[in-house]
Structure 1
Amino acid sequence: MEDLAHLDDASVKGATEAILLVSSDPLSAVDLAKILGIQPGEAAGVLAELSAEYADANRGFQLREVAGGWRLFTHPAYHDIVERYVLSWDTRKLSQAALETLAVIAYHQPVTREGVKAVRGVNSEGVISSLIEKGLVRELGRAPEHANAIVYGTTRAFLEQFGLRSLKDLPPLEDFAPDEESKRFIRERLSGSSIASTLEETAEDIDDERELLDGAELADDEEEAGGDEQ
């Protein structure tokens, strides 16, 4: 680590790119700073500078901030070409039923199985279990007003996979409506939903809950570490 402290600006950028290429999770400025032995502010500046450089040069990849960190993505303009090349993508692609269910959970969370069924019109129990196995959906707790049924929401992995910083970045559901009548139906359906008050309020609640959970997990880890030392 002592040698890393003497990296020049060009080497810091190169090292950051190397780490981004091998990282399976979003890379935060704090983590990068620890790895390279630099200040978090400097690490944040390097990440933002690289992101701007890639955008200005119109490279085939982008560096975007998602789920509390930075990650490399292929440029959206080349999505079709990349999809044709990566033949194995078909084995990981979500089915239509899975995409529908995931969309319902994303926009209505926290939502019960019955809530998902009410929107889709079919039993989605198996699909929800599959999404949980894929790490895109998780149990958030129980709803006393719905016979103490389990409620579900999306995960941090969902944000990563869809390139979102938080649930607030979800595009308005009305944007997907083919006509004004459909938009009006969506507005009425969401405004009259007893599952969640509004998408914005739900997003804030879920984000706050994730922060609390992350803080609790960190506290537990620190307590365990303290116990081990004793």
Structure 2
Amino acid sequence: MPDDHTLEEAAEAILFAADEPVSASHIAGIMADVTGHSEPSEDDVDAAIDRLNAAYEEHGRTFVVEAWAGGYRMVTRASFSSFAKAFYVEEQETNLSRSLMETLAVIAYRQPATRPEVDFVRGVNSDYAIRKLLKMDLASVEGRADSVGRPLLYGTTDRFLEQFGLDALDDLPTLREVEDLLDDPAFDDERAKLLQLDREEGISVDMIDAEGIDASDDEDSSG
């Protein structure tokens, strides 16, 4: 295991890879686990972050580490935010990753759907995909299920309809069209999983077909 890296390097690597704010204590713990050295204090981490930001400013970097929701996060400097915003909007409106498309399809055809239901269909954890779809305003929280644990229920939004050129949910493509769109050879297996789930919940297969409930080939949909 590497033991010659500085706390600044460790913090930078962690924050660069993180999707969410990372606390000073978490950074310190990772540093200790990886290097085998004693765990640095949170003050040590804070000082390392200050040194990182000083180096970024000295070299004119376009990003900075900021305190964010109880932790630290690497963000674009305000003076360059217009470039990041333009890229984000372009990506959001023109390109959804396969995992997001799969997750969104399951939610769209199954809604209101819980994360466990989406996970069941996709066979993987959908936490990240669901969070991403919520941030993109393509999915929303519709309430809580009456089942054990009262899991959140997710559905699609008006923005979802706008982005996909739909007037209403009734305009969603057929299962065959979804299969062609996703081009997933495991589509039939995933659809079978959803049908099995529906049977377990007491929903007849005939009703499933009539309502167009689809097991869009998801492999890591939202949670």
If the length of structure 2 is used for normalisation, what is the TM-score? 0.43
Q: Which has the larger radius of gyration?
A: 2
* Greater fraction helix: 1
If the length of structure 1 is used for normalisation, what is the TM-score? 0.42
